[in-house]
Amino acid sequence: MCGIAGIIGDNQSKEHLEKMLRIQSHRGPDFTGRFFDGEKVAIGHNRLSIIDLREVSNQPFYSDDKRFILVFNGEIYNYLELKQELEKDFHFHTTSDTEVLLKAYQKWGKDCLSRFNGMFSFAIWDTLKQKLFAARDRFGVKPFYYYQKGEKLIFSSEIPALFETNIKKSPSEKVWASFFAKGTYGFPNETFWKEIHQLPGGHYLEFENGNLNVTKWYSFVDRVNELIGTSKENEEEYIDSLLRDSIRLRFRADVPVGFNLSGGLDSSTLLGLVSHEYPNTDSIQAFTFYTGDDRYDELPWVNQMISRTSFPLNKCLLTAEEIPELTSEMSAIQLEPFGGIPTLAYAKVFKEARLKGVIVLLDGQGADESWAGYDYYFNHSDSLVQGVKSSPVKPDTLAPQFRNFTDRQSFDLPFEDKLLNLQYRDLFYTKIPRALRFNDRVSMASSTELREPFLDYRLVEYAFSRPESFKRKGGVQKYILRQVANKYLGDSITLAPKRPLQTPQREWLGSELKDWAGDRISELAHNSAWFEKGKMMQYWDNYLKGDNNNSFYIWQWINAAEILK
């Protein structure tokens, strides 16, 4: 839902704000609003109407006394419950979660954040104190990027918008070098560009008189430690109730809601839960992608599952011929590396949903990290790239001077248990942050909203805090989740193995797309001082000759060539 943008500081430019709003207009095509406070403040909003579609809920949104000005991206899922509490003190003019958010801030200040169950990124300008308050949800589902220099702060929902304000576009050698050498995507406060920062999930920002302070408001570790050692009388029933409540909350919308479907456990569980909560309906549509390659497509599983319901299934075909144009389009929106051809296939799902009039989609993101669903949690591998036998990266292709920029990054180890520390890494540093970025951009590129029921903080905290026997039993991973899912799906689905979402990327890059891929790689090799050109081209030649066990590093180079051109 939506895009936000703002410029705080002397001599702010209305022209720059307009450019920012224009370049991220795909995030909110329904209305574009602006607020100006003299020559110091320019704040804007691109609205994708989801709840209370009326003009009265457009943004920027003003408090009754006009002191506070809000721009908000996301959804507060429990807004109806909060509204009941706030009605004791406030009169409401809309039925939106936007008004609930602002009045919650007026009543509780920054403490309102812990009361929200949702995904959000918002900024509130206090016209009295001349102060900006901005915050991001617990796991960073919704983005907040910013640039600060002296007494000026510029923020937006997407990085390209920031570069519309004459900020110098300089790559961060540390982040890029670490990406090529290790496959990492930077820390939660970093981006691939110098001086462009992101507000980490679970943090808020205050900017006043040129002073910037970033503060952590969500302590996941403390929450989990409070839960470790506790238990519910019936664990399965409790998890089941949390899952069903999470689904119900995320179906709150005044526009059509659908869901994404693949052949895995998480997606299957989502299907079962939606079918249970909303039975005998054909108004909720399902979407899946396929490539026409039986080695990777999950249509047999998907068809088997959907046949048990009345939900229409939309099948979105991705072909090799589409990849060059889609890569160029997505690189321009992301302006940071993204997850290869599977991400492009996923993007087609949202495009199809928008064409069918479905504005909100649910998917199964987040279950593997909280339920320990990845194999490497138990096979003593620390690799961040699954399903490959050879090294997914080729650091020896980097020029020595550039390779020295590689960050010797280490992650927090807040727990005594190694498994919990691996899960914590993936939740806050690696898999979830990058997946949420990929998914936010691909959904919003088509002016649709993605919601992740498995990332309901109540569910994540509780599942994460359970002992290993809760997550794996008899060699079966996500054991209790499978037991719950069995109520809705049956053993044939819940016992299905873990399968990464895949496409024929490895084959396409070496055959149908080899000329396009080769041009991109050659372009990067010859135009960048970051690489040993000979080694890089030798790897590509070997790939074409059959040394193609994995294509991660090939995609890295192609993606970088598109972004850095």
- For position 289, what pLDDT does the model report? 96
Question: ∠ CA(43), CA(49), CA(53), 5° rounding?
Answer: 110
Claim to verify: residue 183 and residue 268 sit in the same structural domain:
no
Cα–Cα distance for residue pair 280/266, rounded to 1 Å:
22
The pLDDT > 90 percentage for the chain reads 86
Claim to verify: residue 184 and residue 256 sit in the same structural domain:
no
Number of structural domains, the chain?
3
Claim to verify: residue 184 and residue 240 sit in the same structural domain:
no
Q: What integer is the mean pLDDT of 208-237? A: 96
Which of 27, 99, 39, 41 shows the shortest CA–CA distance to 70?
99
Claim to verify: residue 283 and residue 256 sit in the same structural domain:
yes
Longest dimension (CA), the chain: 71
Claim to verify: residue 489 and residue 509 sit in the same structural domain:
no
503-514, pLDDT tens digit by residue? Answer: 999 999 999 999
- For position 456, what pLDDT does the model report? 98
- For position 118, what pLDDT does the model report? 98
The Cα-based distances of 325 to 163, 340, 367, 510 in angstroms read 22, 13, 32, 18
Place of tokens 């193609």: 548
- For position 495, what pLDDT does the model report? 46
Lowest-pLDDT choice from 144-158, 173-187, 297-311, 362-376: 297-311
Q: How confident is residue 383, by pLDDT bands cut at 50, 70 and 90?
A: low
Q: Is residue 392 part of a domain?
A: no
Claim to verify: residue 135 and residue 90 sit in the same structural domain:
yes
Q: What is the CATH number of the domain that holds 152?
A: 3.60.20.10
Claim to verify: residue 509 and residue 455 sit in the same structural domain:
no
319 versus 500: which is more confidently predicted?
319
Pairing of strands 61-62, 68-76: antiparallel
Count the Cβ atoms, other than its own, within 10 Å of residue 87: 12
Q: What integer is the mean pLDDT of 272-277? A: 94
Claim to verify: residue 527 and residue 486 sit in the same structural domain:
no
Q: What integer is the mean pLDDT of 66-76? A: 98
Claim to verify: residue 118 and residue 160 sit in the same structural domain:
yes
- For position 305, what pLDDT does the model report? 86
Which of 32, 20, 250, 53 shows the shortest CA–CA distance to 141?
250
Domain span holding position 557: 505-564
Q: What integer is the mean pLDDT of 179-200? A: 97
Any idea which residues carry the catalytic annotation? 2
pTM over 0.85, yes/no: yes
Is the model's pLDDT at 280 over the cut of 80?
Answer: no
550 versus 381: which is more confidently predicted?
550
- Which phi and psi angles does 134 have, rounded to 5°? -135, 150
Q: What average pLDDT does the structure give for the chain?
A: 94
39-63, pLDDT tens digit by residue? Answer: 899 999 999 999 999 999 999 999 9
Pairing of strands 360-362, 257-260: parallel
Q: Is residue 396 part of a domain?
A: no
Q: What integer is the mean pLDDT of 356-363? A: 98
Q: How confident is residue 388, by pLDDT bands cut at 50, 70 and 90?
A: low
The Cα-based distances of 474 to 258, 477, 489, 495, 505 in angstroms read 35, 8, 20, 12, 34
Claim to verify: residue 425 and residue 456 sit in the same structural domain:
yes
| Residues in Cβ contact with 86 at an 8 Å cutoff, skipping those fewer than 6 apart | 92, 100, 103, 104, 107
113-170, pLDDT tens digit by residue? Answer: 999 999 999 999 999 999 999 999 999 999 999 999 999 999 999 999 999 999 999 9
Q: What is the CATH number of the domain that holds 351?
A: 3.40.50.620
Q: How confident is residue 38, by pLDDT bands cut at 50, 70 and 90?
A: confident
400-441, pLDDT tens digit by residue? Answer: 999 999 988 789 999 999 999 999 999 999 999 999 999 999
Claim to verify: residue 285 and residue 184 sit in the same structural domain:
no
439: left (phi over 0), alpha (psi -120 to 50) or beta: alpha
